[in-house]
Structures are given as structure tokens and as C-alpha cells.
Structure 1
């Protein structure tokens, strides 16, 4: 089983289909899922945190989602949209008979109000709003989105589960602050006890799609009665809980604990490669508003040492500056010359001396709930100080970090990570309103051309210019590629390893 789980994880990310196994699904039971902490919100429109998306994707749904091959497929939409010849009008037929958790029927009125809220308050929605001229209901079950010009990432943006374009009742969508968490998902919110658990229970009136399950798409079966998400912010406690079999699923475990977990009461699950750690720069104000300072940071950091300290073995990471690794359609080496695995302290010191840096503390915002973030911050601190920076590590809870990063007065760098997303424009820094607030003519020119192009092959070529702009203006520093480890109970069946684990289609073996 352990070997199959690892193979399935790798295959899932690579878009490879594995043979299915005939297992008898059993209904009933509850599972406990250990998460990295307490989510800052249960409104996925207002957060790009993976933790928020992992939990809320069970409660809320979007018009589209991703299948096992990362292709966009319909979810609440009845089918793929009809797109006008000039690429500016998307006509979306909705599924009929879909019910919200409050018992009301989903109609085009709800979808329009939800999309308008998303365009107004979500970072990826605001990114999209720049090209949206209007959203309107054609009839009770048809919605039309009109754009000012072709915008290739639209369907991917409508599919993602964080900063998500969820569909909620129109009366809730009219409010910027969500107080009633009512969606269409297979599970509904039953109780939230902060720092103890978030309890989701089966929504008995859920209307699933009929297609075979595939990734996040297709049928969503409700075998489990209840899912409890339990915040376990200490990474060592998550490891001990995994070894002891305390939880049915444990998210985000240090990779060096893989063998120890394998000898315990749960089974390790590895996703390889999972994604990339990233140091996001505050380009809006403070010391990093000077591009010369950001270039000095880029030169000072030593990704090989940072990754080695964080992950312990090259079995779990690769020092790689390309935004997508080899094997991905988006892979290119364009612009990556400044990426030096061992850094360049001398160059960094020279760049810093020629910048506006006045010796103010370089504030790095990080959290120990993702232990590898904190470890990389410690190594980065040493290299940055060697280059001449005064470094201040601000270590907070992850929920606090996701709140603080929205205020440009409170930080200069924050540390996060991302899976390799199927559409590059889903990456946070692509939005002008995402924390970091990267706005420039070079970005808009490169990204605008990339997003306006519909031809997939041409988009691959245009992506190179976007990556070059990232390296030239340093809105973020990609540290490298890394593998992720989770753990699950041998009694928990039906799981498909995924960047954002989901528990519809899962069941407990008797």
C-alpha cells in the first residue's frame, strides 16, 4: 500500500492514470484531519491560504474545477462555456436542481451576485476584474461574462479553490464580510470551535455530478458522515500524532520524518515534486520598494543551503530557478541567470551599497507551523547579514501571518509556498492586489500579452517573457522545488493524493 500511495501521488501530479482497484465503499464514520493550524477565515474568496482552500472546498463549489490531468472541467456549470469567436463573451449554462445548504435553489441570480462579489473583494477576482466588462443573467440558468478583450486564464481562475469564485446565495454575496457559511458542497459547517476543530457533516441534499470522479472533478461521493479539521500548529506534534495513529490524515509533515512515519501506525504519502518555497517581497513600501535592494537580496540568498537545511536531503528538493521544473509545459530557463544556488555575497554587498538601503531592519515574516519556512528564514538571515542587511525575523502563527501580510507597513518579506499550478496566472504575484503588490509596466506588458493569447503553444513562448520580468524586477524569490509529505490511516480508503487534499470519495474501511 505504501508503494502505491507514493506512486499515486507522483502520477497524480504528472497527470498519469493508474489502474483502479475494486474496493467496497462503506458509508458512515467520522475522520479527524490534522492541519497546520487554525484558518484565518472560512471565506475562501478573501484568502489565498492553502489551509482555507483545503477546508472550504468541501463546503463551497465553483463553476469549474480541475480534473486529474489539471484540465478545467465543469462543476456547478452544466458544461464548458460557449465562447464568442473573438474570445470576449462566455456563455455559461448552469446545472439545474442544485441546492444550497439553506435549502434554496441555486440560480443565475446567485451566480451573478457571487461573481460580482469575487471581482470586488478577492485578489484573483480583482486581477480578473480588469478585463471584465459585465456579468449578467441571461435567464434563470444561464450566465454571461463579457470581457474587454481575450483573457486566457479566465476558466482556470474560476476553478481554483483559494481566492475562490465560490457560488453562494445572492443575499450573502451582497456582503463583503461573510457571516453565514452557506454553499452547495457535499459537506456543510456544523460547528467551529476555534483552536479545537471545525466540524463538517454530510449535506444530505447534495446533488453530485454524474461523471466518473477525476481529480477535483466528476462525482463527489459522500461516504463519510463527518470530517473534523483539527488545528495542530506544532510540526513535531503532527509527526507524533501520525506515528501514533491519532489522526486519519495529517497534512504537511517534515519530509525527514518519512521513514519514521512508515514504521508507525499511519502511512506516508509523498507528492513529488510538490511545489516551490518563495520569499515574497513588499514592493509597495519600505526597504524593498527599491528594486536595487531586492536585487541585493536576490544575489545574497543561497537556495542550496536554505533547501538543505529545510529538507535535509536532495532526495526531497532541487535547487532550481525556473518557475516550473523540467517536465512541465511551462518550463523555461529564460531570465534565470541571477539565480545562484550558493549565492553571491560580494555582488549582494555591492548592490546594497549602490541602493537606497539605510540600515533599517529587513523584516522577514514567517511561521513555525510550516517548519521549513522558519528553517529557510534562519539560513537566509545569515546570508543577508553577511551582505550587510540588518535582519529582523518576525515569527508568528500562520493565521496571523496571513492577516499581517495584507498590511504593507508590517513586513518586507514574507515566506510562503505554492504547488505548481496548472495556469501560471494563478500565481499570487500575478495579481497587482496580492500582498507584495507588484505593479510595473514591464509586468503588465509581458503578462498582458501572455493572458490575451489563446493559442497554447504561443502562450508557452510568451510565458518566458513573464519569467524574465520576475527575475528582472524581483517581486519574489523562488527558493527551489520541494516534495511534500502527508500521512493517512491505512483504514482511510479512496484518497487520491493532491496538493489540496479532499475527502469526498473517501471512506473508512471496516
Structure 2
């Protein structure tokens, strides 16, 4: 059965794959390495340009978007107020902090002498303006600072945040990198107003040098970078600028992504398990699982349309064989996925098996009952997937096929990631969409728990339980609140989790300092080339 499934996917996949010319995409924009000398050393070396396989993007505004590729590139240009260390604990970054008044007053001390990439000094007014914009855009910021009463500048290097009650997630929010509190110059934010920023200026170790849309983005070393001393610490600490520049080469289809590395045109790429066999025989390439784990899921449009009916969502859950979907998503490589109902990171206090009574219990008779109870008459169900990776695409295709076999009229639309991030914000455009939610160190960070996240899960019960999760200071009681919240996820079904999966990072052996074990995401400061 599994072999037949893979054959079916390969056949269908031929329709989606077209080989575009990568090598016209910025091939001549970086120095040739034909005459470079290879030096095998574990001692970091300065110089060279790193070319990475990347995905299409329509903005670099890290406050504005929910797109992983934007954030991961943006880490290098912008920096957050605080940062998370290798144990996911908040540490000072652009600011340090102190609590007063029983943790209802949070004082941020702005690090002095830090320069923006336009040469101006970062001051409290820039941090303050950036925080205000972040608080208006980030669903997690809104939750963590739900009880924020006042945000004020005390002097050039001090900010005061006043809360009506303590927030156990405040520091994590100020340190988190995905749509995090990145600091930009106040004048850039003033110029943008209510629109996306047009000037990409931060304090990070690399600055934007060139952007050729749908071709490449070039970052180059920010020579006046004001980094921290000492050792690297997760997303914080010392950030060494060994590379002169980085080219993030936009590659839209899976086969060309593979050719980008096997040809030597690019040196680093992240790939789904389905693609790894095609790197066999290339001794110059290193393949390692990333520390990034995600939960493949279906998110429902709860604002309008057919999926606002709970029985339709139950029908989808009962129609799915999660093992088949994940087997296809990971190309049959079972070591890259796991089918379980949990939403918390494993081997932590947040791990649980809540939902196991309904998860992965395919029952087509129940599907019919739920469809009848919903009054379903065969209306089209618009279902979006994306082709940024074979894992995402394969999962959406197998889900669509299972739902069709269960009696649903599925209108499957496979688009690129940039398009999906736009479409999913329009409640008139779809009924459900498929993607992977990155597993977070704190469950309150999961994207779909926010009322403004596309899908728009906003019920009184959910908001009350979420408030408990966000405000409870006692850890044991907070775990209890999380258990209650997990029960509600499987009761109200704003999403259906399919399974957890890993990606792999593939890189040339002359690239050193790749942070494969860093939590969740990748960055390329502290990375160097030996050739």
C-alpha cells in the first residue's frame, strides 16, 4: 500500500515539477571561486561568499509577515530586544531588563553605542516605536502583553513597561525570533505608517546590499556592527561575521533546488526527507537532520464558509489516515516523522498525549454521519497547499485524495509559499490550508492560538483558557492550564494535527559552523568557508 502511494505521488508530482534555470539567477553576482585554495582547518576563517538555496519572498518586513523564510533571512539584518539562548531562556541582547513592583513593572535598559546600518545610533525611541508596532502585529505579543497598561520612554536609553498583572511569557516574547520584537529606526516606521516598511535597516551583523525579486537577495557584512563579546549563546551572544556576504538564491521548484547543490552553484540548502536520496554519491555534501521539528497540520477557516460547522471539521479528522499522509510527506523515511496528537515539545513538561482518543482513528462511517449532520451537499471545499517542499506538497495531495474518497468535493490548489501566506489572510478565499507549525519552546507561542492568526480561532472558552495559560505564574498550575487547552484543541478543532516531521540541512563540506542543532531555526553568523 505504501509503495503504491509513493508511485502515485511520483506520477502526480511530474505535473508540478518544471526545471527552471537556477543558474541565470544571480550566477555572476558573486565572486568566482575557481582559483580559491582549499584550507582544511577547524579554525574559523574570514572571507568568502556563501550561496544558499531559498524561497520566494515579497517583503523583508519581519514585523509584517508570518513567513518563515522572511524571518530566517531577517535574523541577519535585524535583532530582537532580548534573545533566546541555547536552552531557550531569555538573555540580554539589544536591551537588558529588570523587574520592579512584583513583576508588574518591566524596565528595559537599551544598550548604548549600538548603530543601525544607516550609521545612526539606536536609542530608546527606536526601541519604543518598534515595540509598539510589534505589539500591533504579533499574535503572541498581543497575548503576552495582554495586560500592558503603559509603554513609555523614560530617557534616551530606558523604557518602562507597566502591566496590570505579571506575565510569565513577557520575557520569552521579547526574546522570540519568529515575528519577534525586531528593532528598526523610528523614522523608518514613521515613514511606513500603517503599511509595510520599504527600508530594511536593522542592527544585525549583515545588511541588505541587493535584492533582485524572484532571483536573489544579497547580504553583506555590516562593518560597524556592535555585537556582544564572549561566546555564542543560541540566538544571542557573540555573532561572528566570518563571511563577507551571503546570496540567498530563490529557487521555486524541488528538482532545481537539488541541482543547485549537486552542481556546486549553492553551498547550503534545507530539504525534505523525500529529496535526500537524490544526493547519494555526492561525497562533497554533508547531510544532517535539523533541530527544527514541525507539526504538519490542516488549519480551518473559522471566520466564514463551510468549515465553521464543527461537524465538517470532525468529518475531516475522521477521514484521515495520518500514517499514510506522513509516510508520503517524508518519502517513506520513517525516521523523519512521528504520528502523535501532542502539541508540546517532547521531553519537556509540555509533552502530553491528549487527543489520542480521536487522533488517527480513520472511520469512513463516522465521516458520513458527520457530513449528514452538517447538511453537506457536495459543495466545493477550497483547500490550499504549497510546493515550497515536497513534504508540504505531498501531504496536501494525500489529504485531498483521502477526503475525496470519503465523499468530499475537494478543490485542491497548490501554490508557492509566498502566495499561500497572502491567500490565507483572506477569509473569502479558502476553507482550509495545510502547512507545518514549528514546535515552540513554550506552548503559548504556537501561532494558531492567537485570535488574529489566519483561521481565526476565537471562542469564549478558548480565550478564557488561553488567558489562564498566559497569566498563571505557578508552573504546575500552568501545565494544568496547558492540558485543559490541549483538550479544547481536539474538542473545537481549529486545526487538525497530522504528525511531526524533521527536515535535513545539506551543505558543502567546505562550509563550517553550520548550526544544525540550534533550536528551531538556522542562522549563518558564526559560519565560515574553507574554500
Give yes or no for the alignment of 1:238 onto 2:257. yes
CA contact (8 A) 2:166 2:471 kept: yes
Deviation at 1:22, TM superposition (A): 8.5
Specify the alignment match of 1:467 in structure 2.
Answer: 486
User: Per-residue CA shift, 1:208-265, capped at 9, x if unaligned?
Assistant: 11131022111001111101111112112212322333211112x1214335425313
Is 1:60 paired with 2:60? no
**Secondary structure in 1 matching 2:299:** strand
Aligned counterparts, 1:327-476, within 5 A: 327-340=347-360, 343-476=362-495
1:505 paired with 2:521, answer no
Indicate the residue corresponding to 2:233 in structure 1: 214
Report matched runs for 1:289-304 at 5 Å: 289-304=308-323
**Residue 47 of structure 2 corresponds to residue 28 of structure 1:** yes
1:59-208 correspondence runs (5 A): 59-77=77-95, 79=96, 81-128=97-144, 130-174=146-190, 175-176=193-194, 177-208=196-227
- The offset of 1:116, in angstroms, is 0.7
More deviation, 379-388/181-190: 379-388
**Superposition TM-score, scaled by structure 1 size:** 0.91
- 5+ unaligned residues in a row in structure 1: which ranges? 1-20
CA distance in structure 2 between the partners assigned to 1:87 and 1:447 by the alignment: 20
Shift of 1:156: 1.9
**Pairwise CA distance, 1:140:** 1.3
- Residue pair 1:336, 1:468 contacting (<8 A) in 2 also: no
SS in 2 for 1:425: helix
- 2:63 aligns with 45
- Aligned-pair distance for 1:374? 1.6
Q: Secondary structure at the match of 2:237?
A: coil
> How much does 1:501 deviate?
1.3
| Structure 2 runs not aligned, ≥5 long | 1-39
Change (3 A) 1:208 1:299: same
Partner Cα separation in structure 2 for residue 457 and residue 85 of structure 1: 24
Aligned length: 485
Structure 1 residue aligned with 2:279, among 248, 261, 270? 261
Q: 1:359 to 1:38 in 2, by over 3 A?
A: same
Deviation at 1:58, TM superposition (A): 0.3
Q: CA deviation at 1:120?
A: 1.9
Kept after mapping to 2: 8 A contact 1:44/1:161? no
The whole-number CA distance in structure 2 between the counterparts of 1:429 and 1:194 is 29
Instruction: Select the residue among 220, 225, 228 that pairs with 2:244.
Output: 225
Q: CA separation of 1:388/1:88 partners in 2, compared to 1, >3 Å: closer, same or farther?
A: farther
Q: Structure 1 residues 357-366 or 481-490, which shifts more?
A: 357-366
Q: CA deviation at 1:122?
A: 3.3
Are the structure 2 counterparts of residues 273 and 303 from structure 1 closer, same or farther at C-alpha, using a change threshold of 3 Å?
Answer: farther
CA RMSD of aligned residues (A): 1.8
SS of alignment partner, residue 175 of structure 2: coil
Structure 2 counterpart SS, 1:446: helix
In structure 2, the partner of 1:317 is 337
Give 4+ residue runs of structure 1 displaced > 4 Å after superposition: none
CA apart distance, 1:189? 0.5
What is the match of residue 22 of structure 2?
none
TM-superposed deviation, 1:404: 0.7
Higher mean displacement: 98-107 or 496-505:
496-505
Cα distance in 2 for residues equivalent to 1:147 and 1:299: 44
Q: Distance in 2 between matches of 1:111 and 1:227?
A: 27
Determine the structure 2 residue equivalent to 1:285.
Answer: 304
Q: What is the DSSP-based 3-state SS (H/G/I as helix, E as strand, rest coil) of the residue aligned with 2:413?
A: strand
Per-residue deviation, residues 92-119 of structure 1 (Å, max 9, x unmatched): 1111110001111111111111111111
Deviations 1:360-401 (A, max 9, x none): 211111111222122111211122123321101011121111
